[in-house]
Amino acid sequence: MSSLRPHLSLDRLGSVIAVLIGVALFASPFVVYRANRIVAGEGRMLTAALPPAGALGIILTGIGVALCAALLRNPLPRLAAAILGLATVVPIVGWSATFVTPLGNTFARVSPGLGFWLLALAFALLAADALTRLRLGPWVRLAAIAVAAGAIALLLLSGAWNDLSLLKEYANRADSFWQEARQHVWLAFGSMAASCLVGLPLGILAYRVRRLRAAILQILNIVQTVPSIALFGILIAPLGYLATHVPLAAALGIRGIGAAPAFIALFLYSLLPVVANTITGLNQVPAAVTDAARGMGLSPRQRLWQVELPLALPVILAGIRIALVQNIGLATVAALIGGGGFGTFVFQGIGQTAIDLVLLGTLPTVALSFATAIVFDAIIDLTRRGPT
Amino acid sequence: MSARALTFRAAALILLVAFITAPQLFAFVFKPLTVNDAPAIYNHGSLLALTLSHLRTVFLATLASTVLAVGLGIFVTRPSGSEFLPLSRSLVNIGQTFPPVAVLAIAVPLVGFGEKPTFIALFLYGLLPIFENTLAGLSEVPPQALEAAKGMGMNARQRLLQVELPLALPVILAGIRLSVIIGLGTATIGSTVAAKGLGEVIIAGLQSNNVAFVLQGGLVVALLAVLIHDGMGIAERAVAKRLGRPVDEVA
pLDDT digits 0-9 by tens, A267-289: 999 999 999 999 999 999 998 99
Distance CA B149, CA B156 (A): 9
Q: Kindly report the nearest CA distance between residue A158 and chain B, in angstroms.
A: 27
Nearest CA in chain B to A349: B105
On chain B, the residues whose CB falls within 8 A of the CB of A361 are: 105
What is the tens place of the pLDDT at every residue in B98-107?
A: 888 888 888 8
What is the tens place of the pLDDT at every residue in A298-334?
A: 998 899 999 999 999 999 999 999 999 999 999 999 9
* Residue in A230, A240, A336 closest to B222 by CB: A230
Nearest CA in chain B to A324: B97
Is B225 a residue whose pLDDT tops 70? yes
Contact B226 A222 (CB under 8 A): yes
Q: Mean of the pLDDT values across residues A290-295?
A: 90
Residue ranges of A 214-233 with Cβ closer than 8 A to chain B: 217-218, 221-222, 225-233
Q: Mean of the pLDDT values across residues A91-109?
A: 88
Contact A346 B105 (CB under 8 A): yes
Mean pLDDT, all residues of chain B: 87
Query: How high is the pLDDT of residue A316?
Result: 95
Distance CA A354, CA A86 (A): 26
On chain B, the residues whose CB falls within 8 A of the CB of A337 are: 206
Contact A217 B251 (CB under 8 A): yes
State the Cα angle at A63 between A146 and A97, rounded to 5°: 65
Is A234 a residue whose pLDDT tops 60? yes
Close Cβ partners of A104 (under 8 Å, ≥ 6 residues apart): none
On whether any CB of chain B is under 8 Å from the CB of A373, the answer is yes
> Which one-letter DSSP state was computed for residue B251?
-
* Residue in B101, B113, B229 closest to A225 by CB: B229
Q: Kindly report the nearest CA distance between residue A11 and chain B, in angstroms.
A: 8
Query: How high is the pLDDT of residue A8?
Result: 59
Contact A129 B221 (CB under 8 A): no
Residue ranges of B 154-193 with Cβ closer than 8 A to chain A: 181, 184-186, 188-189, 192-193
- Say whether B94 sits in a helix, a strand or coil: helix
On chain A, the residues whose CB falls within 8 A of the CB of B40 are: none
Least confident among A339-348, B45-54, B97-106: B97-106
> Which one-letter DSSP state was computed for residue B99?
-
Contact A225 B226 (CB under 8 A): yes
Query: How high is the pLDDT of residue A240?
Result: 82
Under the banding of pLDDT at 50, 70 and 90, the label for residue A7 is: low
Is B213 a residue whose pLDDT tops 80? yes
Q: Kindly report the nearest CA distance between residue B155 and chain A, in angstroms.
A: 25
Distance CA B47, CA B25 (A): 13
Query: How high is the pLDDT of residue B91?
Result: 83
CA-based Rg of chain A, rounded to a whole angstrom?
A: 25
Residue ranges of A 1-40 with Cβ closer than 8 A to chain B: 11-13
Question: What's the pTM value of the predicted model, to 2 decimals?
Answer: 0.87
Under the banding of pLDDT at 50, 70 and 90, the label for residue A38 is: confident
* Residue in B99, B108, B217 closest to A233 by CB: B217
Residue ranges of B 122-161 with Cβ closer than 8 A to chain A: none
What is the tens place of the pLDDT at every residue in A142-152?
A: 999 999 999 99
Mean pLDDT, all residues of chain A: 89
Q: Which residue in A226, A278, A374 has the most chain B C-beta atoms within 10 A of its own C-beta, making it the best mutation to test that interface?
A: A226
Query: How high is the pLDDT of residue B1?
Result: 59
On chain A, the residues whose CB falls within 8 A of the CB of B221 are: 226-227, 229-230, 233
Closest CA to A367 of A328, A323, A327, A318: A328
Q: Which residue has the higher pLDDT, A247 or A147?
A: A147
Query: How high is the pLDDT of residue A2?
Result: 45
What is the tens place of the pLDDT at every residue in B112-130?
A: 788 888 999 899 888 989 9
Q: Which residue in A133, A345, A350 has the most chain B C-beta atoms within 10 A of its own C-beta, making it the best mutation to test that interface?
A: A350
**What single-letter amino acid sits at A295?**
G
Q: Kindly report the nearest CA distance between residue A222 and chain B, in angstroms.
A: 6
Pairing mode of beta strands A31-34, A42-44: antiparallel
Contacts within 8 Å (CB) and 24+ apart, A222-226 = A222/B226, A223/A268, A223/A269, A223/A271, A223/A272, A224/A269, A224/A272, A225/B181, A225/B222, A225/B225, A225/B226, A225/B229, A226/B221, A226/B222, A226/B225, A226/B226
Nearest CA in chain B to A38: B109
Chains A–B, number of C-beta pairs less than 8 Å apart = 153
pLDDT exceeding 70 applies to what percent of chain B?
96
On whether any CB of chain B is under 8 Å from the CB of A280, the answer is yes
Is B85 a residue whose pLDDT tops 70? yes
Q: Which residue in A114, A225, A239 has the most chain B C-beta atoms within 10 A of its own C-beta, making it the best mutation to test that interface?
A: A225
Q: Which residue in B9, B54, B90, B101 has the most chain A C-beta atoms within 10 A of its own C-beta, making it the best mutation to test that interface?
A: B101
Distance CA B28, CA B63 (A): 39
B201, B216 in Cβ contact below 8 A?
yes
What is the tens place of the pLDDT at every residue in A179-229?
A: 999 999 999 999 999 999 999 999 999 999 988 998 999 899 889 889 988
Write phi, then psi, for A40 (nearest 5 degrees). -65, 145
What is the tens place of the pLDDT at every residue in A74-84?
A: 999 999 999 99
Query: How high is the pLDDT of residue A3?
Result: 47
Contact A369 B98 (CB under 8 A): yes
Query: How high is the pLDDT of residue B240?
Result: 85
Report the CATH architecture of B44-242: Orthogonal Bundle (1.10)
Q: Mean of the pLDDT values across residues B127-141?
A: 92
On whether any CB of chain A is under 8 Å from the CB of B73, the answer is no
- Say whether A6 sits in a helix, a strand or coil: coil
Least confident among B35-44, B150-159, B179-188: B35-44
A319-330: burial string, b at 16+ Cβ within 10 Å, e else: bbbbbbbbbbbb
Is B184 a residue whose pLDDT tops 50? yes
Closest CA to A381 of A193, A195, A188, A140: A140
Query: How high is the pLDDT of residue B245?
Result: 61
From residue B172, give the alpha-carbon distance in Å to each of A111, B95, B137, B142, B181: 40, 18, 7, 16, 14
Contact A355 B106 (CB under 8 A): yes
Distance CA A281, CA A156 (A): 42
Q: How far is CA B1 from the centre of its chain?
A: 23
